Amino acid sequence: METIGNIGEGALRLGIFAGVFAVMALLELLIPSRKLDHAKGARWFTNIAIGGIDSLIVRLMALFVIPLAAVSAALWAETQNWGLFNWTDWPQWIEITIAVIVLDLAIYGQHVASHKIPMLWALHQMHHSDVDFDVTTAIRFHPIEIALSMLWKIVVVLALGSAALAVVIFEVILNGCAMFNHSNIQLPKWLDGLLRLAIVTPDFHRVHHSVIHAETDSNYGFNLAIWDRLFGTYIAQPREGHQGMTIGLSTYQSKAPTGLVWSLKLPFTSPGASRPKTRKEPAKTPPQSRRIGK
> Is the Cα torsion angle 235, 110, 70, 53 positive or negative in sign?
positive
* Contact call for residues 167 and 71 (beta carbons, < 8 A): yes
pLDDT in tens, 210-245: 999 999 999 999 999 999 999 999 999 999 999 999
Residue 99: its pLDDT value, please?
96
pLDDT in tens, 165-184: 999 999 999 999 999 999 99
If pLDDT is split at 50, 70 and 90, which confidence band does 105 have? Answer: very high
Give residues with Cβ within 8 angstroms of 227, minimum separation 6: 104, 105, 108, 220, 221, 233
Q: What is the distance between the alpha carbons of residues 120 and 81, in angstroms, rounded to a whole number?
A: 33
Computed over every residue of the chain, the mean pLDDT equals 88
User: What is the longest distance spanned by two Cα atoms in the chain?
Assistant: 60
Q: How many CA atoms lie within 13 A of 232 on its CB side?
A: 0
**Phi, psi dihedrals of residue 152, rounded to the nearest 5°:** -65, -45
Give residues with Cβ within 8 angstroms of 116, minimum separation 6: none
The structural domains of the chain, with segments of one domain joined by +, span 9-269
Amino acid at 145: E
Q: What is the distance between the alpha carbons of residues 247 and 233, in angstroms, rounded to a whole number?
A: 19
Q: Indicate the angle between helix axes 92-116 and 164-181, nearest 10 degrees.
A: 50
